[in-house]
Amino acid sequence: MITCFIRYEIDPFNLPAFEQYARTWGEAIPRCGADLIGYFAPHEGSVTTAYGVYSIADFAAYEAYRARLKADPLGRENFAFAKAERFIRREDRLFLRRVDTQ
């Protein structure tokens, strides 16, 4: 199992748009095959950093999941929403594996 941590740099003046984006992924990501842990928006401290976190079996499953997500109507709509609203300034992905339970 691998876990993907997505770090977003967001526009702090458009937090409601990011929250809508996150809620939409809350439906689309599990439907497309990943185990969504959650989306996290700023509360204290940095107002420009947010996270999305999900787990998936391996990189082969990740590639299949990404293809399903890009083909999913809700996924396509959410990608277009983010592009049009421009509330994401930067997005970085980090893949980690859990070691404390092995």
Tell me the DSSP string of 76-87.
HHHHHHHHHH--
State the pLDDT confidence band at 102, using cuts at 50, 70 and 90: low
Any idea what DSSP says for residue 45?
A: S
Mean pLDDT of the chain: 96
Instruction: Give the contacts of 88 (CB within 8 A, at least 6 positions apart).
Output: 8, 9, 10, 11, 18, 21, 82
pLDDT tens for 54-96 read: 999 999 999 999 999 999 999 999 999 999 999 999 999 999 9
Whether the model clears a pTM of 0.85, i.e. scores above it, the answer is yes
Number of residues written out for the chain? 102
